[in-house]
């Protein structure tokens, strides 16, 4: 099965490619309702739960066990020469924390940037502080603490540069991330992640509540009080983000111009900027920068593939990631090139600090993630390149 799409280049403000079904049209069906139909689909927004049906060239159900063994062992001898001649494997490289990293260097050097410098996941750090009353109890329930007293207040007050030295940090970090799989009323990591994504662009409590409701498919409802608490706690941790908002507002109001990290301009044509427009304007610089990183990397990878006459195929540009396929055994070479082209270097426009985009690479025999211990054994797994 092949799935096709039509890329929409015109009209996309952030340099990210848009994707939709080919010849998409609204048609009336027998019930009288109107439904949109076309050939193929939107390849950039395929649900992760549906991605297992997407497989590389040459893969068949008969090869599933061999491919699963290869994923665990990297032993090419499991395949026959005939199988190796046809079989391909997916390689996907994602920009890691891309928009948040861009925001960190659009802001003055503060704790938000320090999270990236010292390798602390922003979502974990925010969940730790927003839900600080939860973690001591959860640590005891999971038998992490034992007889030694773990002082959560001490961890909360530890400088970011010293967090990883705390003997409880590794387990606490894992515990907070695991909450993404807990019951709906305890999705602490998920709520912190949504807070990071939304508060970076100046969202207010009511739209934030609606975002949570929409993105969770109506499953997670938070009160106005909680929404306000999450956002205000976030900005108390990182006051430099609202400082960036103020500076950008002043610049746009005076000049009606913005520039992304590649130096590309965006002219604001509205005579009067409405308050509801600012979220989109704050988001434009990070989102357009990330979109251009992917587009540039995709083009460079295609040029390299053609110049070296390699049997690699670029499949999907997914805004902040590239999905390609290559012959089995060449996945590390392809992954290294994807990372090389994605990890572009920049200079902070606020203090000239140099930084580089980060990335993570996965490989597998279908497009859905592998989940330990044995769910979707042929799915995408992390690739270690160094």
**Residue 220 is encoded by which pair of tokens?**
């997670």
Q: What is the mean pLDDT of residues 140-147?
A: 63
For residue 151, the model assigns a pLDDT of 76
Tell me the pLDDT tens digit for each residue of 221-255: 999 999 999 999 999 999 999 999 999 999 999 99
Tell me the H-state helices in the chain.
64-73, 81-86, 98-106, 111-117, 122-130, 132-141, 152-156, 169-178, 188-199, 205-215, 224-237, 239-255, 278-307, 331-342
Tell me the pLDDT tens digit for each residue of 50-66: 889 999 999 999 999 99
Minimal CA–CA distance to 334: which of 346, 326, 345? 326
Cα(136)–Cα(58) distance, integer angstroms: 50
Per-residue pLDDT band at 368 (split at 50, 70, 90)? very high
Give the total residue count for the chain. 386
CB 353 within 8 A of CB 361: no
Tell me the pLDDT tens digit for each residue of 28-52: 566 667 666 666 666 666 777 788 9
* SS3 category, 87: coil
Give 27's strand partners.
Answer: 35
Minimal CA–CA distance to 60: which of 369, 374, 366, 337? 366
Q: Tokens 């509801």, residue? A: 276
The more confident residue out of 277 and 140 is 277
What b/e sequence results for 25-58 when a residue is b if at least 16 CB atoms lie within 10 Å of its CB, and e otherwise? eeeeeeeeeeeeebebbbbbebeeeebeebbbeb
CB 312 within 8 A of CB 332: no
pLDDT, averaged across the chain: 90
Cα(143)–Cα(148) distance, integer angstroms: 11
pLDDT of 145 over the 60 cut: no
* Residue 182 DSSP label: S
Cα(63)–Cα(66) distance, integer angstroms: 5
Minimal CA–CA distance to 210: which of 196, 202, 225, 220? 220
Tell me the pLDDT tens digit for each residue of 107-126: 999 999 999 999 999 999 99
For residue 270, the model assigns a pLDDT of 87
For residue 385, the model assigns a pLDDT of 86
Torsion of CA 260, 324, 181, 99, to 10 degrees: -10
The more confident residue out of 275 and 24 is 275
The more confident residue out of 137 and 222 is 222
Neighbouring residues of 49: CB distance < 8 A, sequence distance ≥ 6: 368
**What is the percentage of the chain residues whose pLDDT exceeds 70?**
87
CB 298 within 8 A of CB 314: yes
**What is the percentage of the chain residues whose pLDDT exceeds 90?**
74
For residue 147, the model assigns a pLDDT of 45
Tell me the pLDDT tens digit for each residue of 290-348: 999 999 999 999 999 999 999 999 999 988 999 999 999 999 999 999 999 999 999 99
Per-residue pLDDT band at 74 (split at 50, 70, 90)? very high
The CA-based angle 326-332-336, given to 5 degrees, is 105
**Residue 15 is encoded by which pair of tokens?**
């340099």
CB 243 within 8 A of CB 107: yes
Domains parsed from the chain with CATH numbers: 1-45 (no CATH), 49-97+290-382 (3.30.70.370), 102-287 (no CATH)
């Amino acid at each position: 099965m092949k799935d096709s799409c039509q890329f929409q280049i015109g009209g996309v403000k952030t340099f990210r490619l848009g994707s939709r079904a080919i010849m998409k049209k609204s048609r009336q069906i027998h019930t009288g309702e109107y439904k949109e139909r076309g050939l193929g689909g939107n390849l950039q927004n395929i649900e992760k739960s549906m991605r297992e049906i997407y497989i590389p060239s040459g893969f068949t159900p008969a090869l599933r066990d061999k491919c699963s063994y290869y994923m665990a062992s990297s032993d090419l001898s499991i395949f026959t020469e005939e199988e190796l001649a046809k079989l391909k494997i997916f390689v996907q490289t994602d920009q890691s924390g891309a928009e948040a990293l861009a925001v960190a260097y659009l802001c003055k050097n503060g704790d938000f940037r320090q999270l990236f410098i010292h390798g602390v996941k922003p979502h974990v750090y925010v969940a730790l502080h927003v839900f600080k009353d939860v973690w001591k109890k959860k640590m005891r329930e999971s038998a992490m603490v034992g007889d030694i007293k773990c002082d959560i207040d001490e961890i909360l007050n530890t400088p970011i540069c010293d967090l990883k030295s705390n003997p409880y940090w590794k387990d606490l970090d894992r515990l907070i991330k695991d909450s993404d799989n807990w019951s709906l009323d305890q999705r602490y990591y998920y709520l912190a992640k949504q807070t990071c994504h939304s508060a970076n662009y100046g969202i207010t409590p009511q739209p934030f509540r609606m975002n949570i409701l929409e993105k969770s498919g109506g499953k997670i409802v938070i009160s106005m009080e909680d929404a306000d608490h999450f956002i205000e706690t976030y900005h108390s941790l990182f006051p430099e983000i609202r400082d960036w908002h103020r500076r950008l507002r002043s610049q746009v109001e005076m000049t009606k111009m913005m520039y992304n990290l590649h130096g590309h301009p965006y002219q604001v044509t509205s005579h009067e900027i409405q308050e509801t427009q600012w979220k989109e304007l704050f988001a434009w610089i990070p989102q357009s920068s990330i979109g251009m990183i992917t587009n540039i990397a995709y083009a460079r990878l295609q040029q390299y593939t053609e110049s070296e006459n390699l049997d690699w195929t670029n499949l999907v540009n997914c805004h902040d990631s590239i999905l390609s396929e290559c012959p089995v055994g060449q996945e590390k070479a392809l992954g290294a090139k994807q990372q090389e082209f994605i990890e572009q270097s920049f200079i902070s426009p606020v203090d000239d600090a140099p930084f580089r985009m980060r990335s993570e690479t996965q490989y597998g025999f279908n497009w859905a993630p592998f989940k330990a211990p044995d769910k979707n054994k042929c799915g995408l797994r992390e690739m270690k390149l160094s």
